[in-house]
Chain A
Amino acid sequence: MNDVIIFAVISLSLVGVAAAVILYFVAQKFKVIEDPKIDEVEEALPAANCGGCGFPGCRGFAEALVKSANENNSIEGFNCPVGGNDTMAATAGILGLIAEEKEPQIAVIRCSGSRENAPKKINYDGPATCAFAHNLSSGESGCPYGCLGCGDCVIACAFDAIYMDEVTGLPVVKDNCVACGACVVACPRDIIELRNKGKKDRRIFVSCINEEKGGPAKKNCAVACIGCSKCFKVCPFEAITMSNNRAYIDYEKCKLCRKCVVECPTHAIHELNFPPRKEKKVVAEKPVEKAVEKPAEQSEPKAEKE
């Protein structure tokens, strides 16, 4: 009886040792040499795996970073929008480089065609996703550029940073947006744009991408950009460009002076997170009356917005 046990133990041990030796040599032969820095960099990344950097997940980004650092000795052009500058600085530290500072960005919804501003004219009863609605119809308000309101962007967001406003029927971006760009891709009408967060989270943008002429645009939506160029003329920093009957504000050039916001006859230009404009009343006098009137109207929908 004992013999059987001893024999079994010894033979199994021998098999184990032999296997270990074989495995050792096989492992040596087929060894994959991987830069240990990849693991370190991956540790430093936020592990959101959102793809906002343009690479498949954080591991892919880490590999690309290390490769670029080894080959070009720089990590220029790489950015993790989720982690922001802190994360990039940390990864750069691991790689012994210096990361360039990048303005943090946030998604903005460039449409104000709420149920009130752009009333429903057409009844769309197809499947409730924007991708379908865009293929099948020009939108319930009749605006072929406006938000379809089916919430593809909300589904695309992995950070729960965007939600549909029940009252306006438009998506709203929350402050925890990391600018990964998933919603930008999901929107079939290219309404969402990534813009610099701006100082103290203050930003100004044209909340309309309608390329129709003024008349038809205004017919469908009360707050459409009608391409009147008033903002373009008033802007002292040449930040506004006019093309295809619509204005666009370059966020790099914009100094947040808010002159265009006052000038816009359709309130298509939005300002976010600015203090109330009352202080200005004391400084200037003539343009103020106009200026006060408009923001008073305008601040309401904005309060809803963010």
Chain B
Amino acid sequence: MSILKTFKIGGVHPPENKFSAGEAIKVLELPKQVIIPIAQSLGAPSKAIVAKGDEVKVGQLIAKGEAFISSNIHSSVSGKVLKLDDVMDQSGYRRPCIVINVESDEWEESIDRSEDLKAEITASKEEIIKKVQEMGVVGLGGATFPSHVKLMVPAGKKAEVLVLNGVECEPYLTADHRLMLEKADEMLVGIQILMKGLEVDRAVIGIENNKADAIAHLTQKVINYPGIEVVALKVQYPQGGEKQLIDAALGRQVPSGKLPIEVGAVVNNVGTAFAVYEAVQKNKPLIDRVVTITGKNLSATGNYIVRIGTSVNELIEKAGGLPENTGKVVSGGPMMGKALNKTDVPVVKGTSGVLVFEEDEAKRVEPSNCIRCAKCITVCPMGLEPVLIAQYAESELYENVEAEKAMDCIECGSCQYTCPAARPLLDYIRLGKFRVGQLIRNRSKK
């Protein structure tokens, strides 16, 4: 057996804890009310185009992305718009949202709701990009970058290969894993659509070796799909990072501060590929996504197709309610996810999982002095020196933070995870990055 590929520098391997890997994807019941934030992707917020009291159908456009980097938002339910108001979202701050009371489940006629596979791709490259934009598809890996922007390769650059991210390197999460097992054909057609949109003839699906069933399943399936190959990768966090995945799957290194297109690669999540299939072939906007609900003490972990805007509470209820000794509820993976202020917040396009931690797991260890062991430098997948950046940020030397290439940090948290002194390295680096961002903006103003 050959040695499995992985990225070359850094990385950690936290306990995997994929409790819900065996749970088939189920559809979560319709909620009574959905709260849909109108800023759900990177870039400019969208503009609401419905008013209070309007009747909406499933899949109806309710907020339009007007800037180049922004995305359309569609109603995930049918019913009456209760209000347009600022509601607390996952960040803990109030953001403009559209609140819809669910009345029935009436879909737009244009949406093909049949389960049959539609493998023939009739749309042209332009039509694909237009459709993806229209249907509000964004990257479902977590960063929610509008997908149509990724399909438009900047002038002078050429995409050679499409890399599919089926790594799911975050512990606990199993949403992509289940999707690869259950919707393989749809996903592969989605990949072909993306390949056509990018005008590339090669696509690589990177999957970590802890999902052996998915690797076997897809390897068998791709025989029917020319140009697509499956690469098994060694389990290593943060392999799902764009630059790490390109390194692992293709052996190419993206230069500092540059995009993957620099080395001819475009990365998309497997979940996004499925969403693209639904958008282009079935005319279905991105109104639901697979969300993992998991935790050590939950009575029923699982993977659910959840309508965007459903309260996290409903998911937790489905999993048997919050256990007594819950310490934290995290949206996203345990490494990069965000602890929620309250559970009554909506699931958005970027929510890949909801994790429930017990008190002992959730506690932060009291930080002590740095012991100069350099473990953080060893594990940093971007080759940075987290200890140095954190110290500069602590002493407010933001020019030095910038000089140490803090902006390359992907905030994977490996440094903080591995630190034996439990230093809040990532927190300092984030603060430093925030301030450096301000510096750069001020500079460009002048």
Q: Please report A residues at the B interface, Cβ cutoff 8 Å.
A: 121-122, 125-127, 131-132, 135-138, 142, 144, 212-213, 216
B364 contacts A126, C-beta separation under 8 Å: yes
| Chain B residues near A138 (CB-CB < 8 A) | 88, 91-93, 341
Where chain A touches its partner, the secondary structure class is loop
Known: A136-B427, A142-B341. A125 touches B94 (CB 8 A): no
B424 contacts A132, C-beta separation under 8 Å: yes
Determine whether B363 belongs to the interface, using a CB cutoff of 8 Å to chain A.
yes
Other A-B pairs, 8, CB within 8 Å; known A137-B341, A144-B94: A122-B342, A126-B424, A127-B367, A132-B427, A135-B431, A137-B339, A138-B92, A138-B93
| Chain A residues near B92 (CB-CB < 8 A) | 122, 137-138, 144
Determine whether B434 belongs to the interface, using a CB cutoff of 8 Å to chain A.
yes
Distance of B386 from chain A, by nearest CB (Å): 15
Closest B residue to A127 using CB positions: B424
Q: Closest 10 interchain pairs by CB?
A: A138-B92, A127-B424, A125-B364, A144-B93, A122-B341, A132-B427, A127-B427, A137-B92, A138-B93, A131-B431
Determine whether B54 belongs to the interface, using a CB cutoff of 8 Å to chain A.
no
Determine whether B86 belongs to the interface, using a CB cutoff of 8 Å to chain A.
yes
Q: For the complex, what is the distance from the CA of A121 to the CA of B434, rounded to whole Å?
A: 27
A-B Cβ contacts below 8 A, count: 40
Distance of B392 from chain A, by nearest CB (Å): 14
Q: For the complex, what is the distance from the CA of A213 to the CA of B86, rounded to whole Å?
A: 9
| Chain A residues near B94 (CB-CB < 8 A) | 144, 212, 216
| Chain A residues near B88 (CB-CB < 8 A) | 138
Known: A132-B431, A135-B434. A212 touches B341 (CB 8 A): no
Determine whether B18 belongs to the interface, using a CB cutoff of 8 Å to chain A.
no
Determine whether B430 belongs to the interface, using a CB cutoff of 8 Å to chain A.
yes
A135 partner, pick from B86, B364, B430, beta carbons under 8 A = B430
A125 partner, pick from B91, B341, B342, B363, beta carbons under 8 A = B363
| Chain A residues near B428 (CB-CB < 8 A) | 127
| Chain A residues near B339 (CB-CB < 8 A) | 137
Give the bracket for the number of chain B residues in contact with chain A: 10 to 19
| Chain B residues near A122 (CB-CB < 8 A) | 92, 341-342
Produce 1/0 per residue, B305-341, CB < 8 A to A.
0000000000000000000000000000000000101
| Chain A residues near B86 (CB-CB < 8 A) | 212-213, 216
Distance of A133 from chain B, by nearest CB (Å): 10
Q: For the complex, what is the distance from the CA of A142 to the CA of B89, rounded to whole Å?
A: 12
Within 8 A of A (CB), among B409-446: 424, 427-428, 430-431, 434
17 contacts between A and B (CB under 8 A): A122-B92, A122-B341, A125-B363, A126-B364, A126-B424, A127-B367, A132-B424, A132-B427, A135-B430, A135-B434, A137-B92, A137-B339, A138-B92, A138-B93, A138-B341, A144-B94, A216-B86
Within 8 A of A (CB), among B228-267: none
Distance of B121 from chain A, by nearest CB (Å): 44
| Chain A residues near B342 (CB-CB < 8 A) | 121-122
Distance of A47 from chain B, by nearest CB (Å): 23
Q: For the complex, what is the distance from the CA of A100 to the CA of B183, rounded to whole Å?
A: 76
Q: For the complex, what is the distance from the CA of A121 to the CA of B367, rounded to whole Å?
A: 24
| Chain A residues near B367 (CB-CB < 8 A) | 127
Distance of B231 from chain A, by nearest CB (Å): 36
Q: For the complex, what is the distance from the CA of A248 to the CA of B94, rounded to whole Å?
A: 22
| Chain B residues near A127 (CB-CB < 8 A) | 367, 424, 427-428
Q: For the complex, what is the distance from the CA of A136 to the CA of B341, rounded to whole Å?
A: 10
Q: For the complex, what is the distance from the CA of A213 to the CA of B430, rounded to whole Å?
A: 31
| Chain A residues near B431 (CB-CB < 8 A) | 131-132, 135
Q: For the complex, what is the distance from the CA of A216 to the CA of B94, rounded to whole Å?
A: 10
Q: For the complex, what is the distance from the CA of A230 to the CA of B100, rounded to whole Å?
A: 34
| Chain A residues near B430 (CB-CB < 8 A) | 135
Q: For the complex, what is the distance from the CA of A213 to the CA of B94, rounded to whole Å?
A: 11
Distance of B88 from chain A, by nearest CB (Å): 8
| Chain A residues near B427 (CB-CB < 8 A) | 126-127, 132, 135-136
Q: For the complex, what is the distance from the CA of A151 to the CA of B94, rounded to whole Å?
A: 25
Distance of B414 from chain A, by nearest CB (Å): 18
Q: For the complex, what is the distance from the CA of A216 to the CA of B92, rounded to whole Å?
A: 13
Within 8 A of A (CB), among B346-371: 363-364, 367
Q: For the complex, what is the distance from the CA of A79 to the CA of B364, rounded to whole Å?
A: 46
Q: For the complex, what is the distance from the CA of A53 to the CA of B22, rounded to whole Å?
A: 65
Distance of B87 from chain A, by nearest CB (Å): 9
Q: For the complex, what is the distance from the CA of A144 to the CA of B93, rounded to whole Å?
A: 6
Closest B residue to A213 using CB positions: B86
Distance of B305 from chain A, by nearest CB (Å): 30
| Chain A residues near B91 (CB-CB < 8 A) | 138
Distance of B442 from chain A, by nearest CB (Å): 14
Within 8 A of A (CB), among B64-86: 86
Q: For the complex, what is the distance from the CA of A121 to the CA of B341, rounded to whole Å?
A: 9
Q: For the complex, what is the distance from the CA of A137 to the CA of B427, rounded to whole Å?
A: 12
